Homo-oligomer: A and B are copies of this chain.
Amino acid sequence: MTDVAAQRPLSRSAQREADILEAATHLFGEQGFHSVTTRKIAASAGISEGTLFNYFSSKNELMRAILERIYEELRENASAILREELDSRTRLQLLAENHIQVMSRDNALFMRMIQAYMNVDLGGYTRIRGSVLHKLNLSYAWVFDTAVQEAQQRGEVRDDLNLSALRDLFFGGLEYLSRTLFLHAAFDQMSERVSSVVEPLWQSMQALSPALPDRLEQACERVEAVARQLEQQAGKA
């Protein structure tokens, strides 16, 4: 697929758009959305200031396109992971690693852009609903939901899980882990760190119900009772 894309050269127009996106992505990651001017982006993309606005109607729109692109990548990677034959624990691990990797790229561009977008374009958290951002987010989060639900169908985890809570813990935990990794410049230990964050969730998903030992003992008793009963009947017979 990549090869085919590489073979067919992009049209001049598509190439320009890609140049702009790349330049903007790099600069936003380096300096932050508000510190980067459209002038800088145009210069870095090798075009004039006016041309930029032929491709993206506004600076915000450009930001939106970048976010969309990253979400698209996140989702594609995640879907690919789900397509492979893997046990659910491994799936979660890979999903998490993908999430961290994409999110931490370009100096945590993604995390910062989301915040900027919410503040600049949405004016806070209250207007997320129905926004493009929300749709992208939903369509991506759906992959996690699928992984959990399939784990349930396979019997790898409990049936009575609060999916919403797990989702918040999963993505929130990873976002914080990402900050922690930045803080300690510890991206070389990413895999283990991710595992140590996913593990508690995994444990909680398959945790024995506290009532289970009692149930088991009761079941034993019932079996024993039945066995005794059978023995008596056999004795009679």
Chain A interface (Cβ < 8 Å from any Cβ of B): 29-35, 107-108, 111-112, 115-116, 118-120, 123-126, 128-129, 134, 162, 164-169, 171-177, 179-180, 182-183, 193, 196-197, 199-201, 203-205, 207-210, 212-213, 215-217, 219-220, 222-224, 226-227, 229-231, 233-234, 236-237
Contact = CB atoms under 8 A, between A and B. Distances in A.
A139 to B, nearest CB: 15
B162 A168 contact: no
Contact of A175 (B123, B164, B172, B223): B172
25 contacts: A35-B123, A108-B124, A112-B119, A112-B124, A116-B119, A126-B182, A128-B179, A164-B180, A164-B196, A165-B193, A165-B196, A165-B197, A166-B200, A169-B173, A169-B197, A169-B201, A172-B174, A172-B177, A203-B207, A215-B216, A216-B216, A216-B219, A220-B226, A226-B227, A230-B230
Nearest to A114: B115
Contact of A171 (B176, B215, B237): B176
Contacts of A165: 173, 177, 193, 196-197, 199-200
Contacts of A197: 165, 168-169
A208 to B, nearest CB: 7
A221 to B, nearest CB: 8
Contacts of A31: 123
Given A171-B176, A208-B208, A213 B213 contact: no
A229 B167 CA distance: 49
A234 B231 CA distance: 10
Contacts of A216: 213, 215-216, 219
B166 A169 contact: no
Contact of A125 (B108, B171, B203, B231): B108
B222 A222 contact: no
A183 B129 contact: yes
B217 A220 contact: no
A32 B119 contact: yes
